[in-house]
Amino acid sequence: MNQLQLLKTFSTIVADTSDIDSICKYKPEDATTNPSLILQAVKSSKNQKFVDQAITYAKKKGGLYKDKIINASDKILVDLGIEILKYIPGYISSEVDARLSFSKEECILKAKKLIDLYEEQGISRNRVLIKLAATWECIKASEELKKDNILCNLTLLFSFAQARACAESNVFLISPFVGRIYDWYVSQNLLSKSSTEKDPGVLSVCKIYDYYKKYNYKTIIMGASFRNIQQILHLSGCDRLTISPVLLKELESNTSIFKRQLNLPDVFSIPTVVLSEEEFRWEHNQDPMAVQKLSEGIRVFGKDQLSLEKIFEKKI
């Protein structure tokens, strides 16, 4: 048994890619995409048919020029998601435009639009996770969307305050970013690149896992953004792990045995305090890494969304 096969006995494996060949090879349960991965897919010649479909849809839909650009971008996001769903049994995560991350109302509208696009093509909303940045506005949007059976994946999660607010809002799934936390500590010379012990990204997920399980929260924890397989193996037993094809390949080629690291507690408690918006913002603000990485992540995803729209601007 290789490490990937063994890992699958401890955690649900999710492919962090839009590449169909990789999904077929590693047979994950779910798949996640983000604006960067969608942009990469659009630039590939093998996905030209999806670009053409999006342009045809946008032109037929009509409206102002900017509306056509947005409609084409939404359409290709959904069509690539539908293609991926042909090869996995579980969920596809599709991300809302990061530029909407500070508007609860706009996120709700966009999420419903994406779900409508999926359902118009025969895909149940029960197979789609709407990805939102873990801002206060998006967490509350997710809470509202769940009432309409629209499930969300709260991404760009770096602080414990974000994790608490998500659990207390009954968010379906969170994606704490292990690798990006690690990157920040290395960039600040607070951690050596060769260090495998006390990895702050790994410790962050361990803390969230222990807290969620202690208080019996149902929100799924999906470790994300890994830099090496050691980070992944240290989180074996986490509910889900979303892994890039490069690291899936490395796990598959390694046969070293490892033990499950995260385990359920023996005793469960009942939480008595819920974070208010003011408390959330203050607690999150106390973590400079989380503040910086959340802002940076939203900016980068927003930039990639803009690059995607520019591709359609030249074609419509």
Active site residues: 131
Please state, in angstroms and rounded to a whole number, the distance separating the CA atoms of residues 250 and 248: 5
Long-range CB contacts (within 8 A, 24+) of 246-251: 248/4, 248/13, 248/15, 248/22, 248/25, 248/26, 248/28, 251/2, 251/3, 251/4, 251/7
First to last CA, the chain: 50
* Residue 22 near residue 248 (C-beta atoms within 8 A): yes
Tokens of 265: 């507690």
Tokens of 144: 């509202």
Task: Tell whether the torsion through CA atoms of 74, 78, 83 and 89 is positive or negative.
Answer: positive
Question: Any bridge partners for residue 152, and if so which?
Answer: 130
